[in-house]
């Protein structure tokens, strides 16, 4: 039997134990009707969908997981490392007839919410006439008093609204929450569509859902039109809190799709009341900000003073109408759950019409009637705070909850718990009925609000999203225009002006992309060389090979830092070096750093970067799951392939300052790594046989064995190895070669003058390395080579100073802003009080 | 009484500041009992950008940005103000306090506008200890005037005036635990006590003219910026009381700005960009009666 038939049979069958609770009661099924027949939207897909077997679906699920990994799609839960984005193969399908009333309801709601904002930050009629209790609005932290000035009016504070919806057991849509602060999810929705349409092309073609592209174009055009005044060529940026943000992927993906630069607070500055971007050497005006930073963090002058994510003076620039922030800074007031209780009355008051799309039943406890109702039905309702995270507090001890409600009733709402509709989710080889919610998006385009025909659906477990789904809104007629939009301008290339490629923060991220990529690569090569020796000699102590292995392991811990594990457990050490992200210096640490840096500049990089990293991730995953020693080498090789693929990606980048900065980082790191490797292996004499084997391993780790064999005909001596790895300007693995590239790339950076400090330091280093007398370096003094020791230590020092100089000249945008009065008072104990 | 007011804040840094962006609440409000003449805020070095506006509560607010590198930043508010003692409508003080709770009685005229000041605010949050402490003044049926003066009197008696006890970011809980603070803390504690029982009350930032001891000249700069509270009496009527001095506010108080707590109306706040690691802050406030001092309060 096929999966869908089996699922339909299961849904139509009454449950055996007959258990029906408030949350587990009969749900509306998105795919199958109560009679066991498919819903209209799915009927159109029956031919393909019904035939799908478990094996087909598993294949699709696997391909989806792989595609998401290849695209580097992540979602970060607060306080955790970035996790993978999950997408279920089964979309939420809505036919045109089901969609039409929802579309009208969403458009009305956005229009209403915009009017609510205009009133709450303007005349406040809703409060004065007590349509909404003042305390219900003012007790919510999203209400920003700093923009409630007579001097500042934003006629269109709501440009992009998101609405979280669920269906009740009758199949009626209810709004669960409004998201207006900085709605996330469009980037994920676009990616979901890309992946699902690619791995299930037949189904997708048969369904003919509305494509998303015209909506994105419309958003782009709406943002351009949001610019204050009548600008021919407005500058729009997407303001992100940075790559540690929960939805960093979503922000970057949306910025890329829109063709607007992704910036962070440190890239911007307010000067003379205008918002400006710090392009090196000058400031460039910004006219529109698509804001993904919560308003509370957007301006350390007037909002949270400790914020590093915002721009001091932004609120003032907004009030003066010199920049338009989308959505308006005050839009967070709409996320207030207490508003839901009053929206029908608000709609009558502001629009003079009934509210079309009902919200989930909500009672604000600040009103005596509301409190009474909530206390009476405490077991059946979800209880939320107005000013806290959106969690259901009804799990608290009853007495505790009642006490809190009575103490500060105006801070709480009670909400009906909806028996959400269900849809099959693919879990562990079977289609299981799971509740879902839908996030819809509505855009102000021209003079009206237009909902996206589509959205982002979530599979929900215990109130938490555990996976996402694509949303297919089917066309009534295949010839209907996508999104019903016919007049949108196609996406054209942005206006010709400097991009963000040269922002100091962007250059910094790219510098670390270069450094971490090289660090991972060099360490992987060294691990492979050491592991090969380990396979042969780990059980043969006191042999030449065992001594060589010891030397190589010393080099590993010099590069990767000492391992936390017991000595002698070689496998554990290799695994730690490859997999432990908490070991500063490990491959995993370098790859995490690389991913973080790349995420900060996602809009500058090809998607191939993520495919390459995905390959490395999969190899690491396999190693985590396997106990075999040989898997260490296999995974390390494949991780190496991943990092090498990055080289290919950067080779195809445009030769802009960012590309040169990757080059500076990569080659500077390579010079450093060569010095560390040589210092750990070649400075001590251990006997002719051991030394020869050590040198051979070093050549392997430095990928120069083949060149060496050709050039020196198999005779492995310290002098030859040092020549090849230090001074040979034609060997890409040598310090001399790397320094040549550092100098070239440096010269191409915008802040370079020909005589800047990094250029001087690089030039001196280059000259000294080129002039070094290798014969002198290998000279012996007792057990060691003192000249070589000194030379490597000095060179390492000078390279570190060069790195610092690069950071100082090219990467910093100056000291971070800080609150007036935050500096220490004069006194002798500065070190003690400084952070 | 007419006063010449000068409030000067000077920051001195050990290295240049390249960008100072600030906001000041330094210009007194125009009120039925207070008129403001020839008032100005000056910033040195001269800012490239200055604006004057009214915030959402009608306070004067000055925004400025200095991008000329500077080791010293001086912000000064100066001008002349004429103050008379506020006059309250008859019987306003006699209302039982229970009738003046905006959240309980939102239909009362003016209640919606006073609501924001009956809710907890960032520096004045609810605290069970403070609520219990204030309860002794909030006897059922007591006229609001008595409630407020009694609570102010108790706070004055129970708190030590101690400049070292708290900072500008201290909360009511800190103040109450130490039983000590400065005028700002006295005000916050009264606000917390009244709001906990449903009354609406606002934080007032301003100046107090200090009378010199007889026979001595007045000391310039001896005064500081001051803070007190105003309590809602219905409509748009407010009772101003100064817990630090255990007195009702009269013609020696110059009202600059009001808000939910200190955080809404600090005289000066800002963000700077600098390599400096140390700074010195000097604040001088001078509220001098214009013309010969009559000695009359």
> Around B189, how many Cα atoms within 13 Å sit in the side-chain half-sphere?
35
Q: Write out the two tokens for B278.
A: 């140390």
CA separation for the pair A62, A199 (Å, rounded): 10
CA separation for the pair A671, A766 (Å, rounded): 11
CA angle A257, A425, A421 (to 5 degrees): 90
Based on the fold, state whether residues B168 and B127 are members of the same structural domain.
yes
CA separation for the pair A601, A315 (Å, rounded): 26
CA separation for the pair A121, A152 (Å, rounded): 9
Beta strands in B84-200 (DSSP E): 160-161, 180-181
CA separation for the pair A216, A471 (Å, rounded): 16
- Residue A648 near residue A660 (C-beta atoms within 8 A): no
Residue A568 backbone class (left: φ over 0; alpha: ψ -120 to 50; beta: rest): left
Best of A122, A128, A134, A272 to substitute, by most chain B Cβ atoms within 10 angstroms, is A134
Best of B11, B21, B57, B235 to substitute, by most chain A Cβ atoms within 10 angstroms, is B21
For residue B205, the domain's CATH number is 3.10.620.30
B14 domain residue, yes or no: yes
Based on the fold, state whether residues B227 and B274 are members of the same structural domain.
no
CA separation for the pair B263, A629 (Å, rounded): 62
Mean pLDDT, range B243-272, rounded to an integer:
94
Ordered alpha helix ranges (H), A626-656: 630-651
Residue A575 backbone class (left: φ over 0; alpha: ψ -120 to 50; beta: rest): alpha
> Does B51 contact A149 at a Cβ distance shorter than 8 Å?
no
> Does B56 contact A819 at a Cβ distance shorter than 8 Å?
no
> Is the Cα dihedral A564, A570, A572, A574 positive or negative?
positive
Spatial strand order of the sheet with A262-263 comes to A262-263, A236-239, A288-291, A324-326
Q: Given the structure tokens 């922000």, which residue do they identify? A: A251
B51 contact A CB<8A: yes
DSSP A750: T
Contacts of B113 in chain A (CB under 8 A): 128, 134
pLDDT of residue A428: 86
CA separation for the pair B111, B117 (Å, rounded): 10
Question: Residue A649: which residues within 8 A CB-CB, separation 6 or more?
Answer: A605, A606, A608, A609, A612
Is the previous residue joined to A614 through a cis bond, with omega within 30 degrees of 0? Answer: no
Q: Write out the two tokens for A318.
A: 């907004």
Question: Residue A318: which residues within 8 A CB-CB, separation 6 or more?
Answer: A147, A152, A154, A324, A325, A328, A329
When mean pLDDT is compared across A77-86, A458-467, A592-601, B17-26, the lowest value belongs to A77-86
Based on the fold, state whether residues B79 and B117 are members of the same structural domain.
no
pLDDT band (50, 70, 90) for residue A833: very low
Based on the fold, state whether residues B258 and B136 are members of the same structural domain.
yes
pLDDT band (50, 70, 90) for residue A310: very high
Residue A260 has pLDDT above 50, yes or no: yes
Comparing CB atoms, the residue among B53, B272, B280 nearest residue A825 is B280
Strands B247-248 and B253-259 come out as: unpaired
Q: Given the structure tokens 């996602």, which residue do they identify? A: A602
Based on the fold, state whether residues B165 and B187 are members of the same structural domain.
yes
CA separation for the pair A71, A134 (Å, rounded): 47
> Around A101, how many Cα atoms within 13 Å sit in the side-chain half-sphere?
10
pLDDT band (50, 70, 90) for residue A184: very high
DSSP per residue, A62-111:
HHHHHHHHHTT-EE--TTS--EE--B-SS-EEE-HHHHHHHHHHHHHHHH
- Residue A768 near residue A738 (C-beta atoms within 8 A): no
Q: Is B14 helix (H, G, I), strand (E, B) or coil?
A: strand
B296 contact A CB<8A: no
Residue B162 has pLDDT above 90, yes or no: no
pLDDT of residue A132: 97
pLDDT of residue A665: 96
pLDDT of residue A790: 95
> Does B279 contact A300 at a Cβ distance shorter than 8 Å?
no
DSSP A727: I
Residue A633 has pLDDT above 50, yes or no: yes
Find how far residue B101's CA is from the centre of its chain: 22
pLDDT of residue A20: 38
Q: Write out the two tokens for A760.
A: 């001087």
Chain A nearest CA to B106, separation (Å): 8
Q: Is A228 helix (H, G, I), strand (E, B) or coil?
A: coil
> Does A138 contact B116 at a Cβ distance shorter than 8 Å?
yes
For residue B14, the domain's CATH number is 2.60.40.2250
Based on the fold, state whether residues B188 and B161 are members of the same structural domain.
yes
Q: Highest mean pLDDT: which of A35-49, A418-432, B187-201? A: B187-201
CA separation for the pair A122, A148 (Å, rounded): 7
Strands A362-364 and A381-385 come out as: unpaired
pLDDT band (50, 70, 90) for residue B216: low
Contacts of A270 in chain B (CB under 8 A): 21, 65
Residue B293 has pLDDT above 50, yes or no: no
Based on the fold, state whether residues B106 and B236 are members of the same structural domain.
yes
Residue A79 has pLDDT above 60, yes or no: yes
Digit-coded pLDDT (tens) for A636-673: 999 999 999 998 888 888 888 899 999 999 999 999 99
Based on the fold, state whether residues B9 and B55 are members of the same structural domain.
yes
Contacts of A819 in chain B (CB under 8 A): 269-272
> Does A149 contact B23 at a Cβ distance shorter than 8 Å?
no
pLDDT of residue A10: 83
Based on the fold, state whether residues B98 and B37 are members of the same structural domain.
no
Strands A288-291 and A236-239 come out as: parallel
Mean pLDDT, range A520-547, rounded to an integer:
91
The answer for B 216-275 residues in CB contact with A (under 8 A) is 264, 268-275
Digit-coded pLDDT (tens) for A100-157: 999 999 999 999 999 999 999 999 999 999 999 999 999 999 999 999 998 887 878 9
CA separation for the pair A290, A260 (Å, rounded): 9
Residue A502 has pLDDT above 80, yes or no: no
State what percent of residues in chain A have pLDDT above 90: 64
Contacts of A408 in chain B (CB under 8 A): 120, 126
B180 domain residue, yes or no: yes
CA separation for the pair A53, A42 (Å, rounded): 16
pLDDT band (50, 70, 90) for residue A17: very low
CA separation for the pair A166, A360 (Å, rounded): 9
Q: What angle in degrees, to the nearest 10, is found between the helix axes of A186-199 and A54-70?
A: 130
Q: What angle in degrees, to the nearest 10, is found between the helix axes of A54-70 and A608-625?
A: 120
ipTM of the complex model: 0.93
A30 vs A15, which has greater pLDDT? A30
pLDDT of residue A19: 39
The answer for B 52-111 residues in CB contact with A (under 8 A) is 53-56, 63, 65, 67, 102-103, 106-107, 111
Mean pLDDT, range B253-282, rounded to an integer:
95
B146 domain residue, yes or no: yes
Q: Write out the two tokens for B40.
A: 């100005």
Q: How many domains does chain B have?
A: 2
Based on the fold, state whether residues B63 and B210 are members of the same structural domain.
no
CA separation for the pair A288, A134 (Å, rounded): 31
Phi, psi of A84 (to 5 degrees): -75, 145
> Does A130 contact B112 at a Cβ distance shorter than 8 Å?
yes
Residue A48 has pLDDT above 90, yes or no: no
Residue of chain A with shortest Cα separation from B55: A149
A312 contact B CB<8A: yes
Spatial strand order of the sheet with A274-279 comes to A268-271, A274-279, A282-285
Residue A739 has pLDDT above 60, yes or no: yes
Q: Is B163 helix (H, G, I), strand (E, B) or coil?
A: coil
> Around A456, how many Cα atoms within 13 Å sit in the side-chain half-sphere?
25
pLDDT of residue A169: 92
pLDDT of residue A501: 64
B297 domain residue, yes or no: no
B295 domain residue, yes or no: no
Digit-coded pLDDT (tens) for A373-400: 999 999 899 999 998 776 778 778 889 9
Mean pLDDT, range A754-776, rounded to an integer:
93
CA separation for the pair A789, A778 (Å, rounded): 10
pLDDT of residue A21: 36
Return the closest-CA partner of residue A443 out of A111, A59, A670, A33: A111
Return the closest-CA partner of residue A563 out of A539, A588, A540, A542: A588
Contacts of B18 in chain A (CB under 8 A): 814
> Does B56 contact A149 at a Cβ distance shorter than 8 Å?
yes
Distance from the first to the final alpha carbon of chain A: 66
Average pLDDT value for chain B: 91
Digit-coded pLDDT (tens) for A185-201: 999 999 999 999 999 88
Comparing CB atoms, the residue among A149, A320, A827 nearest residue B54 is A149
Virtual torsion, Cα B113, B115, B118, B119, nearest 10 deg? -130
DSSP H/E element including A283: strand A282-285
Mean pLDDT, range A781-795, rounded to an integer:
93
Q: Is B164 helix (H, G, I), strand (E, B) or coil?
A: coil
Contacts of A410 in chain B (CB under 8 A): 103, 119
With 0-12 / 13-18 / 19 or more C-beta atoms within 10 angstroms meaning exposed / middle / buried, residue B237 is middle
pLDDT of residue B52: 96
B47 is in which domain, residue-wise?
2-83+266-289
Mean pLDDT, range A320-338, rounded to an integer:
96
3-state helix, strand, coil in chain B (%, to 5): 20, 40, 40
DSSP H/E element including A198: helix A186-199
Mean pLDDT, range A161-170, rounded to an integer:
96
B169 domain residue, yes or no: yes
pLDDT band (50, 70, 90) for residue A314: very high
> Does A818 contact B55 at a Cβ distance shorter than 8 Å?
no
Digit-coded pLDDT (tens) for A448-474: 999 999 999 999 988 788 999 999 999
Residue A834 has pLDDT above 90, yes or no: no
**β-bridge mates for residue A442, sequence order:** A161, A451
pLDDT of residue B135: 97
Mean pLDDT, range A532-556, rounded to an integer:
90
A344 contact B CB<8A: no
DSSP H/E element including B40: strand B34-44
A408 contact B CB<8A: yes
Based on the fold, state whether residues B272 and B256 are members of the same structural domain.
no
> Does B271 contact A151 at a Cβ distance shorter than 8 Å?
no
B115 contact A CB<8A: yes
Model pTM? 0.88
Q: Write out the two tokens for A574.
A: 């290799």
State what percent of residues in chain A have pLDDT above 70: 95
pLDDT of residue A147: 93
B294 domain residue, yes or no: no
Contacts of A320 in chain B (CB under 8 A): 51
Return the closest-CA partner of residue A662 out of A504, A516, A809, A812: A516
Digit-coded pLDDT (tens) for B88-102: 988 999 999 999 999
Residue A326 has pLDDT above 90, yes or no: yes
When mean pLDDT is compared across A13-27, A142-156, B19-33, the lowest value belongs to A13-27
Contacts of B21 in chain A (CB under 8 A): 270, 301, 312-313
Phi, psi of A382 (to 5 degrees): -90, 140
Return the closest-CA partner of residue A12 out of A41, A45, A35, A42: A35
Mean pLDDT, range A206-210, rounded to an integer:
89
When mean pLDDT is compared across A92-106, A133-147, A239-253, the lowest value belongs to A239-253
Return the closest-CA partner of residue A152 out of A349, A321, A4: A321
B221 domain residue, yes or no: yes
CA separation for the pair B147, B127 (Å, rounded): 19
DSSP A29: B
Average pLDDT value for chain A: 90
Residue A316 has pLDDT above 90, yes or no: yes
Based on the fold, state whether residues B272 and B219 are members of the same structural domain.
no
């Amino acid at each position: 039997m096929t999966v869908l038939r089996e699922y339909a049979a299961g849904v139509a069958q009454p449950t055996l134990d007959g258990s029906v609770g408030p949350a587990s009661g009969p749900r509306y099924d998105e795919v199958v009707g109560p009679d066991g027949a498919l819903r209209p939207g799915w009927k159109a897909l029956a031919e393909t969908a019904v035939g799908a077997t478990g094996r087909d679906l598993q294949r699709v699920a696997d391909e989806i997981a792989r595609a998401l990994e290849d695209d580097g799609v992540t979602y970060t839960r607060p306080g955790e490392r970035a996790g993978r984005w999950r997408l279920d193969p089964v979309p939420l399908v809505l036919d045109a007839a089901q969609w039409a009333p929802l579309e009208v309801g969403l458009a009305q709601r956005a229009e209403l919410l915009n009017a609510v904002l205009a009133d709450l930050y303007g005349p406040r009629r809703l409060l004065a006439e007590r349509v909404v209790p003042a305390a219900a609005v003012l007790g919510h932290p999203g209400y920003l008093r700093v923009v409630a000035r007579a001097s500042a009016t934003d006629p269109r504070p709501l440009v992009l609204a998101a609405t979280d919806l669920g269906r009740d057991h009758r199949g009626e849509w209810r709004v669960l929450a409004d998201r207006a602060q900085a709605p996330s999810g469009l980037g994920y929705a676009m990616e979901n569509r890309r992946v699902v349409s690619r791995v299930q092309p037949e189904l997708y073609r048969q369904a003919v859902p509305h494509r998303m592209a015209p909506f994105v174009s419309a958003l782009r055009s709406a943002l351009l039109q949001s610019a204050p005044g009548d600008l021919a060529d407005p500058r729009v940026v997407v303001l992100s809190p940075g790559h540690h943000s929960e939805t960093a992927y979503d922000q970057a993906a949306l910025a890329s799709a829109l063709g607007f630069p992704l910036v962070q607070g440190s890239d911007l500055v307010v000067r003379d009341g205008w918002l400006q971007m710090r392009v090196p050497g000058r400031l460039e005006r910004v006219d529109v900000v698509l804001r993904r930073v919560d308003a509370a963090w957007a301006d350390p002058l007037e909002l949270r003073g400790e914020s590093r994510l915002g721009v001091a003076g932004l609120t003032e620039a907004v009030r003066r109408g010199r920049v338009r922030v989308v959505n308006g800074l005050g839009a967070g007031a709409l996320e207030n759950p207490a508003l839901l209780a009053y929206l029908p009355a608000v709609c009558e008051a502001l629009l003079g019409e009934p509210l079309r799309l009902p919200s989930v039943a909500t009672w604000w406890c600040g009103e005596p009637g509301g409190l009474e109702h909530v206390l009476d039905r405490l077991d059946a309702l979800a209880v939320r705070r107005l000013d806290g995270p959106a969690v259901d507090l009804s799990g608290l001890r009853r007495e505790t909850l009642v006490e809190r409600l009575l103490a500060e009733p105006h801070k709480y709402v009670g909400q009906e718990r909806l028996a959400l509709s269900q849809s099959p989710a693919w879990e562990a080889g079977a289609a299981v009925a799971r509740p879902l919610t839908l996030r819809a998006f509505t855009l102000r385009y021209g003079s009206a609000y237009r909902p996206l025909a589509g959205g982002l659906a979530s599979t929900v477990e215990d109130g938490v999203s555990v996976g996402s789904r694509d949303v297919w809104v089917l066309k009534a007629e295949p010839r209907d225009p996508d999104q019903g939009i016919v007049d949108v301008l196609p996406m054209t290339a942005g206006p010709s002006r400097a991009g963000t490629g040269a922002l100091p923060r962007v250059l910094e991220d790219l510098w670390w992309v270069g450094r971490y990529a090289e660090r991972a690569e060099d360490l992987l090569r060294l691990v492979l060389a050491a592991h090969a020796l380990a396979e042969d000699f780990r059980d043969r102590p006191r042999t030449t090979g065992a001594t060589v292995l010891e030397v190589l392991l010393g080099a590993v811990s010099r590069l990767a830092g000492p391992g936390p594990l017991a000595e002698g457990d070689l496998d554990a050490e290799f695994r730690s070096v490859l997999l432990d992200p908490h070991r500063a210096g490990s491959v995993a640490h370098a790859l995490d750093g690389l991913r973080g840096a790349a995420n900060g500049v996602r809009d500058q990089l090809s998607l191939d970067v993520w495919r390459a990293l995905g390959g490395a991730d999969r190899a690491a995953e396999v190693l985590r799951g396997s106990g075999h020693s040989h898997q260490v080498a296999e995974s390390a090789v494949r991780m190496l392939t991943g990092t090498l693929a990055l080289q290919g990606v950067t080779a195809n980048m445009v030769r802009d300052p960012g590309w040169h900065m990757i080059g500076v980082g990569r080659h500077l790191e390579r010079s450093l790594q060569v010095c560390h490797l040589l210092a750990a292996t070649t400075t001590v004499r251990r006997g002719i046989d051991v030394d020869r084997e050590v040198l051979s391993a070093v050549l392997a780790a430095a990928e120069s064995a083949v060149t060496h064999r050709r050039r020196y005909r198999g005779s492995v001596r310290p002098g030859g190895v040092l020549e090849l790895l230090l001074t040979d300007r034609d060997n890409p693995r040598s310090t001399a070669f790397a320094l040549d590239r550092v100098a070239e790339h440096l010269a191409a950076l915008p802040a370079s003058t020909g005589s800047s400090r990094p250029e001087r330091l690089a030039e001196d280093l280059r000259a000294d390395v080129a002039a070094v007398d290798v014969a002198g370096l290998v000279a012996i003094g007792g057990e060691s080579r003192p000249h070589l020791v000194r030379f490597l230590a000095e060179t390492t020092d000078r390279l570190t100073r060069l790195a610092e100089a690069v950071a100082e000249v090219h990467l910093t945008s100056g000291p971070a802003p800080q609150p007036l009065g935050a500096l220490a008072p004069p006194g002798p104990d500065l070190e003690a009080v400084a952070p | 009484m007419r006063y010449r007011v000068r409030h000067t804040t000077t920051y001195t840094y050990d290295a240049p500041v390249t960008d100072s962006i600030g906001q000041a609440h330094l210009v007194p409000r125009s009120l039925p009992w207070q008129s403001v003449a020839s008032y100005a805020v000056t910033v040195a070095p001269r800012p490239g950008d200055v604006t004057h506006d009214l915030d959402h509560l009608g306070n004067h607010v000055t925004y400025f940005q200095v991008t000329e590198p500077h080791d010293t930043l001086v912000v000064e508010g100066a001008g002349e103000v004429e103050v008379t003692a506020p006059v309250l409508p008859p019987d306003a003080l006699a209302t039982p306090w229970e009738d003046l709770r905006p959240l309980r009685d939102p239909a009362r005229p003016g209640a919606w506008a006073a609501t924001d000041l009956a809710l907890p605010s960032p520096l004045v949050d609810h605290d069970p200890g403070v609520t219990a402490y204030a309860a002794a003044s909030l006897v059922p049926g007591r006229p609001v005037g008595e409630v407020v003066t009694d609570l102010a009197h108790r706070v004055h008696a129970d708190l030590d005036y101690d400049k070292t006890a708290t900072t500008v970011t201290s909360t009511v809980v800190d103040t109450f635990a130490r039983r000590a603070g400065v005028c700002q803390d006295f005000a916050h504690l009264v606000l917390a006590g009244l709001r906990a029982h449903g009354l609406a009350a606002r934080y007032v930032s301003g100046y107090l003219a200090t009378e010199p001891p007889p026979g001595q000249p007045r000391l310039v700069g001896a005064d500081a910026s001051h803070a007190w509270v105003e309590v809602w009496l219905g409509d748009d009527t407010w009772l101003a009381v100064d817990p630090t001095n255990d007195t009702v506010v009269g013609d020696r108080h110059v009202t600059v700005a009001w808000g939910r707590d200190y955080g809404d109306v600090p005289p000066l706040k800002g963000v700077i960009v600098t390599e400096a690691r140390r700074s010195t802050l000097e604040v001088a406030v001078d509220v001098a009666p214009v013309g010969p001092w009559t000695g009359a309060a």
